[in-house]
Amino acid sequence: MHTREEKIEAFGRFLDILDELRVKCPWDKKQTNQSLRPNTIEETYELCDAIMKDDKKNICKELGDVLLHVCFYAKIGSETGDFDIKDVCDQLCDKLIYRHPHVFGEVKADSAETVIKNWELLKMNEKDGNKRVLSGVPDSLPSLIKAYRIQDKARSVGFDWEDRSQVWNKVKEEIGEFEAEIYKMDKDKAEAEFGDVLFSLINAARLYKINPDNALERTNLKFIKRFNYLEDQTIKKGRSLTDMSLSEMDEIWNEAKANE
């Protein structure tokens, strides 16, 4: 791999290019924090897609796109006199050192779980940090990821099941309450209860060290692959999905499963 000097040189070259683009490119010149935000979200998801597919080439590419956005915001900050990339790096370094006393101090941490617990406590104790346990969870997170983070934050201060197997009673309870509201045909209450079902299942995944977002995305990709096979085979037969019976589609679907 590259030396530290080569990495610093490459980063400096990138910053020089960004400076020039900001002055000379009509599109780059007009960008603001607000105009960049939607693109930042898109680039982040594209990086996540590459990671889920374990596409090393695209992971490298998408990391570059995310880095561009990080430095672009810092560039805008420097133009307004609020901060620049050095401030961003310095604050990050200070935070990492402060939150890793087991590396840079005398604190002992023999497991990842202890590190996470200490991290959350340190965050709460920071002068300008989050005073409430759940206040550090961004409002704009997708609901599934937000639920996982909420539960994980609560766990960090001891609010959790004593035995993870206890969660299954809660899952069954929530499913029962959802079914009761469905039976009553009360859509509003059924929606609320279904949210409780999802929340309890996410909790179960967390307790068994399964990332629910990754798990659901794996299923999404699996479904897309099988459905595409179904569609391809249907076209080869000179037919349309809308003209096929469910049993005919199931037969091809099972072929797709068998071919995996």
pLDDT tens for 131-180 read: 677 877 888 888 999 999 999 888 877 888 889 999 999 999 999 999 99
Residue 101 in domain: no
Residue 128 in domain: no
Give the confidence band of 130 by pLDDT, cuts at 50, 70, 90.
low
Q: Are residue 180 and residue 237 in the same domain, yes or no?
A: no
Residue 230, Cβ density class (10 Å: 0-12 exposed, 13-18 middle, ≥19 buried) = buried
Task: Please give the pLDDT value at position 232.
Answer: 92
Lowest-pLDDT range of 52-56, 110-114, 224-228, 236-240: 110-114
Task: Please give the pLDDT value at position 71.
Answer: 97
Q: Are residue 177 and residue 223 in the same domain, yes or no?
A: no
Q: Are residue 151 and residue 200 in the same domain, yes or no?
A: yes
pLDDT at 246 > cutoff 60: yes
pLDDT at 13 > cutoff 90: yes
Residue 36, Cβ density class (10 Å: 0-12 exposed, 13-18 middle, ≥19 buried) = middle
The whole-number average pLDDT for the span 214-225 is 92
Number of domains in the chain: 3
Task: Please give the pLDDT value at position 25.
Answer: 96
What DSSP state is assigned to residue 129? S
In tens, the pLDDT along 62-78 reads: 999 999 999 999 999 99
Task: Please give the pLDDT value at position 229.
Answer: 93
Average pLDDT, the chain: 90
Residue 119 in domain: no
Six-digit token pair at 95?
């935070």
Residue 44 in domain: yes
Question: Which of residues 105 and 222 earns the better pLDDT score?
Answer: 222
Residue 96 in domain: no
Q: Are residue 188 and residue 220 in the same domain, yes or no?
A: no
Strands (E), the chain: none
Task: Please give the pLDDT value at position 73.
Answer: 97
Q: Are residue 239 and residue 180 in the same domain, yes or no?
A: no
Q: CA distances (Å), 166 to each of 26, 161, 207, 222, in order?
A: 59, 7, 10, 30
Q: Are residue 196 and residue 236 in the same domain, yes or no?
A: no
Task: Please give the pLDDT value at position 126.
Answer: 64
Which of 49, 68, 83 is the endpoint of a domain? 83
CB atoms within 10 A of CB 193: 19
The whole-number average pLDDT for the span 216-229 is 93
Which of 57, 83, 109 is the endpoint of a domain? 83
Q: Are residue 140 and residue 198 in the same domain, yes or no?
A: yes
Residue 57 in domain: yes
The whole-number average pLDDT for the span 35-52 is 92
Q: Give the Cα separation of 65 and 203 in Å (integer).
A: 33
pLDDT at 129 > cutoff 70: no
Task: Please give the pLDDT value at position 137.
Answer: 85
| Enclosing domain of residue 219 | 214-258
Residue 103 in domain: no
Q: Are residue 18 and residue 53 in the same domain, yes or no?
A: yes
Task: Please give the pLDDT value at position 65.
Answer: 97
pLDDT at 118 > cutoff 60: yes
Residue 90 in domain: no
pLDDT at 128 > cutoff 60: no
Q: Are residue 202 and residue 224 in the same domain, yes or no?
A: no
Q: Are residue 200 and residue 165 in the same domain, yes or no?
A: yes
CATH assignment at residue 61: 1.10.287.1080
Q: Are residue 43 and residue 65 in the same domain, yes or no?
A: yes
pTM of the model: 0.66
Q: Are residue 250 and residue 229 in the same domain, yes or no?
A: yes
